[in-house]
Chains A and B, each alone.
Chain A
Amino acid sequence: MKEETRLLVESGERFLTTNYSFENRRDLLKARAKNQTVVHNWDTFAQLGWTGLGIPEEQGGFGDLSDMFELLRVLGEGLILEPLSSSLIASQLLSLCSESTFASDTLTRTIAGESRVISAITESINGFSSGESITRAVDCEDGFEVSGEKNLILDGDSASSLIVSALYQNPDMESAQIGLYLIDCESDGISMKNSDTTDDRQLVNIRFDHVVLPRESLVLKNGAAVNAIEFEENLRAACASADALGAMQSLLFRTVEYSKDRKQFGKAIGSFQVLQHKMADMFMALERAKSMFTMMCEAFTLSADTSRMVSMARVEICDSARLIGQHAVQIHGGIGISDELAAAHYFKRLTASQYYGGDSMYHLGRYLSLRSSSID
């Protein structure tokens, strides 16, 4: 591990120790208004520089994507509720729009913690896939007018701005072109509908009803936008995986410790072979997840093959998350399904987060389509 990464991991661990005990976290959940994402520690994140993680230094950030995933893994151990990963994903997109002053300025403010941008790409009709956008952009007097809907956007409610994919067409064009639009959430015509997730976060449906935007809002288009959308999909899968890996590590540790304390039939339940073997299986599932996390970090350093590798990693990590979550509850017994205890919250995170960034079935299909030797 690089020295820079090690320091980052330490700062993440320190943050969890001081600010994110299970009781702290429960207070955060109580304090938040209903249907809202928790953003209580955002200033701290910005002060620690985490809001600029993975962004090149010349744009005001530090570290690379591996550092970013590593921090998200650490914070996953504490089941953080703040929309850090969603914000970092959008910042990656902003970072690609280097020719747009509007995007660069927004990125600078985001790194400073003054604004929060969330990417809104997915639409219900496409399921997990970024797919073809139905949301449309057309010319209007003052710039563009955008109409459509983006669905199940994680942490969407916490955004001050959104990056939205839309198809643009004017009468002179034979076919529509995809573009990314940076949209202020205060714009007229935007409405949001939030859903609470199993792990106490928010998935948001965002409607755009003839939303009028200035010209500068189009921050990326054509091939670059297509690539950015694929990149965004990979990032969502990777961030959810990094977070899940942290949660798995913590949950296995908690389960093993619990099994050493809890006594039945006059003995610690951890002394029973059936439970030992279940925990050995959890350990092996965790090892697989760690290995695939390594692969995933590498995938982003390659110019080709990133999607195939990310999908492979995602499949294994989702399946490990399910196995570890279920076994942990079984070993805890009744207490494992009580909302009063940490184990249930880890189980809920590991359940819900399988559906952020594509689940294992979606990514298995994606891998199959990208794999070279498939049959026709």
Chain B
Amino acid sequence: MQLNLTPRLEAFQQEVRTFLSKELEPEMVAAVRSTTTVWVEREAMLSWQRKLSTRGWAVPHWPEQFGGTNWTPMQHYIFEVECARANAPELTAMGVKMVGPVIIRFGTDWQRGKYLSRIASGEDFWCQGFSEPGSGSDLASLSCRAERKGDEYIINGSKIWTTDAHNANLIFVLVRTSIEDKPQKGISFILVDLDTPGVSVTPIISASGDHEVNQVFFEDARVPVSQLVGEEGVGWTYAKYLLGFERGGSIKAERLKQELQRVNRLLLSKVRGHKDEFSIKQIERDLARLEILVESLSYTEMRVVAQLEAGGAEPGPEASVLKVEHTEIMQQITELAMMALGPYGAILERDRPKSGGKFSGYTGDITKDLLPIVPRYLNFRAATIYGGSNEVQRNIIAKTALHLS
């Protein structure tokens, strides 16, 4: 879509590009290219966050008074696209895109003062405690309890699939504070320090061998009531607000284009061997088809941005559409990359040096592309499960866009 940038926006775009070319370091780009999971390796991400924070761009979508900007939707879009093009690390969403906006909107002044600046600077690292062993898509059935005793909540239960809990120092949890009413009504939103006695984190190793997710246990963990966000029993509302950010809050097509370029590089280096013409042609055709699909997503994103820019309402079904589209396209890309690997598709290297793996016959840059493909294929199966499974998203689309019930 031709953005028809005004001179002011063009200057802004230039400003972002200049910043990226000056501040983004090769190690950070390498971390993005070599990551096997959704987020990039913590140190690379944090050093990029510090650079953004210094520039005042770590939390651009927050209100200015809390360290954000007053950018228009179009400026946010330009910023995201330029960062993706440059392969800058994406900031882990749990702090800046999830709990941050909830604290800003529903938190107390004390909570804002205590947490917001530390989220923006990266000093605090948050994780999200929503899913439980017995509550996945049916999140409202969650049973992790918080019982109020005087000025404290006593939490018992566990949270699962907690991304980055092993790197985090704080967790925001949905807990049940009442069983009197319908399930959604007894849920509260509480901020918990992971150092609290009674809280423990156990790793869950993924099929890929990566340690990305965890289970977090609460045994009589005592948390001051000042850590409650908003009102007791209204946590479900805050969670829905937050999930809107998780699903629709970011621009993905440009990142997917980078992934497609990886497949193109693999294809050009004929990893499947030089004589398998049939496969090479087929993969090239599939790649072209995916390029078109990504282009359509890119235009859908721009249409949503243009609608926001024109003062339209916050995205409703669009957020679900974008979530389904980008995760399903991502899976198709990882699948095609596997095909491009040919005989190397069976290799899962457990020890993955940043310099690339031991793909005999291949050296140099291409091994950096080869290495993450198998673990990425495995890990990105989760993309259509997390953030509200794509089945749940389709329910939402049917309900909100087509008014089916």
A residues whose Cβ falls under 8 Å from a Cβ of B: 256, 259-260, 270-271, 273, 276-277, 279-281, 283-284, 287-288, 290-292, 294-295, 298, 301, 312, 315-316, 364, 367-368, 371, 373-375
Interface of B is mostly: helix
Contact B394 A260 (CB under 8 A): no
Contact B303 A291 (CB under 8 A): yes
**Contacts of B297 on A, CB cut-off 8 Å?**
288, 291
Q: Can you sample 7 A-B contacts with CB below 8 Å?
A: A256-B402, A271-B404, A276-B394, A279-B404, A290-B303, A316-B293, A364-B285
Q: How far is the CA of A283 from the CA of B403 in the complex (A)?
A: 12
Write the chain B residue with the least CB distance to A296.
B299
**Contacts of A290 on B, CB cut-off 8 Å?**
300, 303
For B278-314 the 0/1 string (1 means CB < 8 A from A) is: 0010001100110111011111101100000000000
Contact A284 B288 (CB under 8 A): no
Q: Check: B1 CB closer than 8 A to any chain A CB.
A: yes
Contact B300 A291 (CB under 8 A): yes
Contact A284 B395 (CB under 8 A): no
CB distance from B287 to the nearest CB of A (A): 9
CB distance from B327 to the nearest CB of A (A): 12
Contact A364 B394 (CB under 8 A): no
Contact B2 A374 (CB under 8 A): no
Number of CB contacts from chain A to chain B under 8 A = 96
Contact B288 A288 (CB under 8 A): no
Q: How far is the CA of A271 from the CA of B405 in the complex (A)?
A: 5
Q: A290-B303, A316-B293, A373-B264 are in contact. Are A284 and B325 (CB under 8 A)?
A: yes
**Contacts of B264 on A, CB cut-off 8 Å?**
373
Contact A375 B280 (CB under 8 A): yes
**Contacts of A371 on B, CB cut-off 8 Å?**
288, 291
**Contacts of A291 on B, CB cut-off 8 Å?**
296-300, 302-303
Contacts beyond the supplied A283-B401, A291-B298, A298-B2: 6 A-B pairs with Cβ under 8 Å: A276-B404, A279-B398, A280-B395, A284-B324, A284-B397, A288-B297
Q: B1-60: which have CB < 8 Å to A?
A: 1-2
Contact B267 A375 (CB under 8 A): yes
For B195-216 the 0/1 string (1 means CB < 8 A from A) is: 0000000000000000000000
Q: Check: B276 CB closer than 8 A to any chain A CB.
A: no
**Contacts of B138 on A, CB cut-off 8 Å?**
none
B292, B293, B317 pick with most chain A CB within 10 angstroms: B292
Q: Check: B124 CB closer than 8 A to any chain A CB.
A: no
CB distance from B289 to the nearest CB of A (A): 6
8 tightest A-B contacts by CB? A291-B299, A276-B398, A280-B394, A280-B397, A288-B296, A291-B300, A277-B394, A270-B404
Write the chain B residue with the least CB distance to A376.
B268
